[in-house]
Amino acid sequence: MSAKRPIDGLFSRRALIAAGGGTAVFGGLIARLFQLQIMEHERFEVAAAENGVRLDLAPPQRGRILDRFGRPLAAHRQAGRVSIVREQANDLPGLMAELSKHLDISPERQARLISDARRQASFQPVTVKSELSYEDFSRLSVLAPSLPGVQVEMASTRSYPRGRDFAHVLGYVAKASETDLERLSEDTNAQERAAIRRLFKHPDMRTGRSGVERYAEDWLRGEAGFRKLETNAAGRIIREFDDPSLAPKSGRDLYLTVDAELQKFAIDRFGSESGAAVVLDIETGDILAFVSTPAFDPNDFVNGISSKDYAVLRDDVEYSPLYHKAYDGTYPPGSTFKMVVAAAALEAGVINPNERVYCPGHYRFGNNTWHCWKKRGHGSVNMHWAIKGSCDVYFYEIAKRLGIESLADMGRRFGFGQRWDLGLHGGRSGVMPDDAWKRAARGEPWYEGETLNIGIGQGQVSTSPLQLAVMSARIAAEGKIITPRIIGDGPRPDADIPFDKPLDPEIMQRMKAGMYGVTSEAGGTALRSGDLGLGGPRLAGKTGTSQVRRISAAERATGILKGENIDRRLRDHALFVAYAPHDDPKYAISVVVEHGEGGSKAAAPVARDIIAEALRIDARRSPTYLRTASTGSSTGSGAR
């Protein structure tokens, strides 16, 4: 040790003084603890347990989702719930046995509930059954006072009165998972995050997982409030104070542009087939029906779907009920694409509409042969005949003259290759291929031969049923820019529409004439579907077949396999696009029947019947949300 410095003694003295001071403060804190815990114990014990005025978090009522005429598509219903509270129960297994006399509870579930109740704090309720029938609810309500430990109460649950009809459009709500919570608390500070977590922990709180429910979460959710409750020593609620300043604020209602009746008709019309249909109001772009079938029942998800039931939906890859085929599904457009090719050719001036192309049933380019669907050939056809007879050779020829760039450019002006942001979660852009796309996606340049495939809507090009409906509407409106929408009154997405160059009305009139020919003139491919059964007006449309597999030369020689001779999964998709009435278009439609094989046989009759129904019920008449005075909310803020 070095020599003694004055500081050594000073430091020690001061350290002891500081230690004394610290000890005094510690002593003071322990004294304060004694004051609170021992001297004022009774007061606080009373405050904690007896006659407590409690503020319980009250979740807001989620806004409804309505169709264009105010019919509820997503609403709520009251459902009875029975739970047990260990603290109040004298004999838990006995109570469970008693309850199982009135409710169907498996012995495994009983054991599970008992162990849950024992693991939790004694005063916390454990839900036994959340969807009580009216009979069960009333019977248990009568019994509850004689069964200490049993709680019967009403709770509000999301319900989808139209079941499967709007599964993909609405999506569904579910209890917020950890992933949901992270998404919901994006861009929030610590305090907001804590509030969101606390709110979504509430047993009645749900969040949108897909569709409009997810997209419009902020619009629909509302704001949480509190219930001011007076409770007795056992925690039972004695009365509820009415305090409007604490009440939760319900979420806002949201109107869609769809017509629930037309939607139901369309789904029923599909029967057991899988497919998609989109009906548009040509004047406004309102989506009147947005069908993807088969579907699931969103009601099954609200209280959590069992993993077994979910697996059934998820693993059905052939009919894929979870998949929104009209928005997320993409298909080669087949011959429905021929109007795009023809329009591009006319605008580029590579062909005169009266020029004839000879179709011998096949087309040679380089060392390869391309086939027309009509083995014997169409003979010599001009553009009008080529459209109504769907001559492949004619379109090979003009596609070759056009080149892929002009073709793709026209496709994009019809809305292909871009995602329509409707305000639904999901939506695919499909592919409108060109040289740049192929270099980016495949790392290879575009080959001219591929242009021929695109000319008949096969190969790399892929489109969603929504895009096909928009194409059909833009033709029917003679080139007017039509933008689809499904949110009528609610948080609308920003309309961000690229490639909005209007189309030449004169060219569009020629396309319409061709589509009329398809359903109504000799040589048309869908003659049987032109009559709407309404007397005067007819349907104009175009058939299409979307190839699912490649046909080998050997198979072509022996005859292409069809129908019963081939596995369903390998059959072609049937497509049809149309508008009606032909002389004064009001509705545009696209229909895809998966593995339906022929557009004229499988898809066209479906499209005809749906559009006839739309005309019959006047689905496009002015929606409720425009008629009511309270449309001020339509200018409200959009959702994120």
Partner 1 sequence: MATMRASSLDFSRRSLWTQLGALPWGLILMICAMAMIGVAILHSATFTNPEEAGLPMRQATRFGVALGVLLVAGLVPIRWWFWAAWPSYLATLVLLVAVEFFGTTGGGAQRWLQIGPVAVQPSEFMKVTLTLALAAYYHKRWSDFSGGFMIHLPALALIALPAALIFRQPDFGTTLALFASGGILIFLAGLWWRVIMAIGVAAIASVPAIYFFVLQDYQRERVDTYVAQLTGQSVNVMDDGYQIEQAKIAIGSGGWTGKGYMEGTQSQLDYIPEQHTDFILTVLAEEFGFLVTSGVLILWMVILGLGLAIALRAASLFARFAAAGAVATVTFYILFNVAMVLGLVPVVGVPLPLLSYGGTVMITTAGCFGLVCAAHLGRNEPLNTGA
Find the part of the chain contacting partner 1 (CB under 8 A) among 25-33, 211-219, 552-560, 562-570. 25-33
Identify residue 483 by its one-letter amino acid code: T
Phi first, then psi: give them for residue 438, nearest 5 degrees: -65, -35
Extended beta strands in 69-224, E state: 72-84, 126-132, 150-159, 173-174, 207-208
CA-nearest of 325, 545, 494 to 316 is 325
Residue 37 CB, shortest distance to partner 1, in Å, is 4
Should residue 358 be labelled a site residue for partner 1 when binding is judged by CB under 8 A?
A: no
Which residue lies nearer to partner 1 by CB, 48 or 440? 48
CA-nearest of 285, 321, 344 to 503 is 344
Should residue 191 be labelled a site residue for partner 1 when binding is judged by CB under 8 A?
A: yes
CA distance 575 to 607: 9
CA-nearest of 295, 631, 278 to 488 is 631
Of the residues 51, 94, 115, 123, which one makes contact with partner 1 according to CB under 8 A: 123
Q: Look-up: residue for tokens 């009266």?
A: 354
Find the part of the chain contacting partner 1 (CB under 8 A) among 16-24, 303-311, 496-504, 524-532. 16-24
Should residue 447 be labelled a site residue for partner 1 when binding is judged by CB under 8 A?
A: no
Should residue 55 be labelled a site residue for partner 1 when binding is judged by CB under 8 A?
A: yes
Which residue lies nearer to partner 1 by CB, 243 or 309? 243
Which residue lies nearer to partner 1 by CB, 7 or 629? 7
Should residue 36 be labelled a site residue for partner 1 when binding is judged by CB under 8 A?
A: yes
CA-nearest of 298, 284, 330, 258 to 71 is 258
Q: How many residues bind partner 1 (CB under 8 A)?
A: 48
DSSP letter string, 506-572: HHHHHHHHHHHHHHHSTT-TTGGG-B-SSSS-B-EEEEEEE--SPPPHHHHHH----GGGS-GGGSP
Q: Look-up: residue for tokens 């904690």?
A: 48
Should residue 505 be labelled a site residue for partner 1 when binding is judged by CB under 8 A?
A: no
CA distance 525 to 387: 9
Which residue lies nearer to partner 1 by CB, 19 or 142? 19
Of the residues 20, 41, 232, 439, which one makes contact with partner 1 according to CB under 8 A: 41
Should residue 550 be labelled a site residue for partner 1 when binding is judged by CB under 8 A?
A: no
Of the residues 18, 142, 234, 570, which one makes contact with partner 1 according to CB under 8 A: 18
Should residue 26 be labelled a site residue for partner 1 when binding is judged by CB under 8 A?
A: yes
- To the nearest 10 degrees (0 to 180), the angle between helices 404-413 and 448-455 is 40
Find the part of the chain contacting partner 1 (CB under 8 A) among 30-38, 322-330, 362-370, 510-518. 30-38
Q: List the alpha helices (DSSP H) in 56-189.
A: 92-102, 107-119, 134-143, 167-170, 178-184
Return the number of other C-beta atoms located less than 10 Å from residue 518's C-beta: 29
Phi first, then psi: give them for residue 38, nearest 5 degrees: -110, -55
* Window 93-122: contact mask with partner 1 (x via CB under 8 A): ---------------------------xxx
Should residue 44 be labelled a site residue for partner 1 when binding is judged by CB under 8 A?
A: yes
Helix (H, G, I), strand (E, B) or coil at 265: helix
Of the residues 47, 234, 237, 497, which one makes contact with partner 1 according to CB under 8 A: 47
Find the part of the chain contacting partner 1 (CB under 8 A) among 14-22, 95-103, 264-272, 472-480. 14-22
Residue 206 CB, shortest distance to partner 1, in Å, is 16
CA distance 459 to 438: 12
CA 413 to chain centroid, in Å, comes to 26
Which residue lies nearer to partner 1 by CB, 121 or 317? 121
Find the part of the chain contacting partner 1 (CB under 8 A) among 126-134, 165-173, 193-201, 360-368. 193-201
Residue 122 CB, shortest distance to partner 1, in Å, is 7
Should residue 23 be labelled a site residue for partner 1 when binding is judged by CB under 8 A?
A: yes
Find the part of the chain contacting partner 1 (CB under 8 A) among 147-155, 190-198, 438-446, 587-595. 190-198
**Contact indicator for 89, 95 with CB cutoff of 8 Å:** yes
Of the residues 104, 108, 178, 444, which one makes contact with partner 1 according to CB under 8 A: 178
CA distance 228 to 243: 7
Q: Look-up: residue for tokens 């006399």?
A: 101
Find the part of the chain contacting partner 1 (CB under 8 A) among 29-37, 92-100, 369-377, 431-439. 29-37
Residue 484 CB, shortest distance to partner 1, in Å, is 39
* Window 218-257: contact mask with partner 1 (x via CB under 8 A): -----------------x----------------------
Helix (H, G, I), strand (E, B) or coil at 77: strand
All residues at 6 or more sequence positions from 512 whose CB lies less than 8 Å from its CB, including other chains: 475, 476, 478, 540, 582
Which residue lies nearer to partner 1 by CB, 46 or 97? 46
Should residue 38 be labelled a site residue for partner 1 when binding is judged by CB under 8 A?
A: yes
Should residue 22 be labelled a site residue for partner 1 when binding is judged by CB under 8 A?
A: yes
CA-nearest of 311, 567, 337 to 454 is 337
Binding residues for partner 1 (CB under 8 A): 1-2, 5-7, 10-12, 14-15, 18-19, 22-23, 25-26, 29-30, 32-34, 36-38, 40-41, 43-45, 47-49, 55, 120-124, 178, 181, 189-191, 194, 197-198, 201, 235
